[in-house]
Amino acid sequence: MSAVKSNLSKEQERMLCSMFDRAKLSLLFKASVHGYSGSSFHQKCDNQGPTITVAYNNSGLVYGGYVSKDFAQTGQDVYDEKAFLFSLDCRSEDIILRQVPVTNGQPAFNDGAYSPNFGSLYNNSNNVFSNPGNYFDSLQPQPQCSFYNVNTGPNFGGLVFLNNNGTQVSSKPGTFYNFDPALIHGNDLNLIELEVYRVEDSGNHLEKPWRNIDWSPGKRKELMETIKSWKPIITSVSKAQVLLVGPVGAGKSSFFNSLSSVFRGHVTSQAVTGSAGTSVTTKFHTYPVMSDKSRKPLPLILCDTMGLEGDVNAGLDMEDITSILQGHVQDRYQFNPLVPLQEEAPGFRKAAYVKDKIHCLVYVIDSSKVKLLPEKMLEKFAAIRRKANLLGIPQLVLLTMVDEACSLVAENLQKVYQSLYIEKMMREAAALLGVSLSAVIPVKNYSRELELHSDIDVLLLSAVIQIIRAAESYFDDIYQDAEEETT
């Protein structure tokens, strides 16, 4: 399984974000992937801060609700004046957004242990029902009363999702949210999907950047010259080999294309890129980067591979990764996900020298999907990290698409190290992959641009400088070992 994908279109996401100031939606829960149950909902969504629940049916309406407070299963009434229900009417070319705020002075939800209850449910003795069952089947409406069902997920005091751990929605306007069902969900109460997003403030930023980058016009040229003039300390190696690994669609091939564009002086697309559900790259491909129109190569080679996938028998195999790290896989080898490369097979390099091995390993991750990496994917990352550590290979993390992850950065790339959201994603990536924060580097690849931009170039070139420094540490260890053997 690859990273979980949102069902929202770009326009639908933009409309939802328009209800907040500089918001970024981060997908936490998808019922078709994680399960149609209240327990699955809580496992993914508790203690996540502001969240918006998004339901899909066949009516042409996308609908749900927002709360700014945590789900935490405390059993307490939670008042949240910012809470609301919403719908996106997508039945015409122009999407219509509707909001229904929580009734003034009423609880937004009861934070139950089994399911979030948007409202508050009391019996005649003013005691909270501990297990009332299906509200519509077994209870009569009470004053100050919404719904409660121990087998539901998000329940918006008028909307009960994941009812009885299934795809049915219960709906009825009430004291806490007064709405027209036809305008909210089109009277279609059968879910085809349910998603929950954390609503993050991507506009918050630090007054000063926490990493210093020189964005001046002359810095771009200086970085390019530094890269072109660098040489490995090991005389038998003319170019550092850098392996890029990451999920499908994370931007590995795009990173090579972007770096090549910087040195070629215009946007290029030598490596095949795309957004298919499976890896576009099917071969082990080594890409020398040409420094300019004279076609003189830079002192590094970027090695592209199949994308990693969470499923055990999908994507790049762990044995193939080990062979690549050790220098046994020849350029243009066609991967077979079912059978790893064998020692006697064509494409296997038996005599692997230092120049053939990987000198720096770079994990490439979409910054918007750090929290959505499946457990099986993280297990593969951990296995790769252990193997690379044993081989003494330095490791870095490239966080791509920072402009799509943060509106502040989209407006001004120079604020990448002032964005609190990007800093948070970098810290989470470091923790998930088991590397230091200093090893995590944000970049923006060329994707929709037709012309080069100095800020994009500086960020890309700064990342390459860190890659070169990491490779230097690999060569330094080899050089030191060789010196000790001769003394």
DSSP state for residue 286 in the 8-state scheme = E
Phi, psi dihedrals of residue 400, rounded to the nearest 5°: -95, 170
* Residuewise pLDDT in 10s, the chain (487 residues): 456 789 999 899 989 988 887 788 889 999 999 999 888 888 888 988 899 999 999 999 999 989 999 888 887 778 888 888 899 999 888 889 999 888 887 777 767 655 545 554 432 233 333 333 333 333 333 333 333 344 556 655 567 788 788 888 878 777 778 888 899 999 998 999 999 999 987 667 788 999 999 999 899 999 999 999 999 999 899 999 999 998 888 889 899 999 999 999 999 876 655 554 445 557 788 888 887 766 788 999 999 887 777 565 666 778 888 899 999 988 888 877 677 778 877 888 888 899 999 999 999 999 988 877 888 888 889 999 999 999 999 999 999 999 988 888 988 999 999 998 899 899 999 999 999 999 999 999 998 899 999 999 999 999 999 999 999 999 998 877 665 554 4
In angstroms, the CA 237 to CA 221 distance is 26
Distance in angstroms (rounded) separating the CA atoms of residues 465 and 109: 51
pLDDT of residue 230: 95
- Class of 217-486 in CATH: alpha beta
Yes or no: say if 208 and 122 are a contact pair by the CB < 8 Å rule. Answer: no
Residues 6+ apart with CB under 8 A from 241: 286, 300, 301, 303, 327, 355, 356, 357, 358, 359, 360
So where are the chain's domains? 10-201, 217-486
Residue 127 DSSP symbol: P
Structure tokens at 212: 């210093």
**What sign for the dihedral angle of Cα 147, 32, 35, 422?**
negative
What ranges in 391-453 are assigned the alpha helix state H?
Answer: 402-405, 407-411, 420-433
Indicate left, alpha or beta for 392 from its phi (over 0: left) and psi (-120 to 50: alpha): left
The residues, any chain, with a CB within 8 Å of residue 161's CB and separated by 6 or more, are: 53, 55, 64, 152, 153, 154, 155, 169, 191, 194
Phi, psi of 39 (to 5 degrees): -65, -40
Of residues 401, 413, 446, the one with CA closest to residue 246: 401
pTM above 0.75, yes or no: no
Q: Distance between CA atoms of 157 and 306, rounded to whole angstroms?
A: 47
Query: How much is the pLDDT for 149?
Result: 45
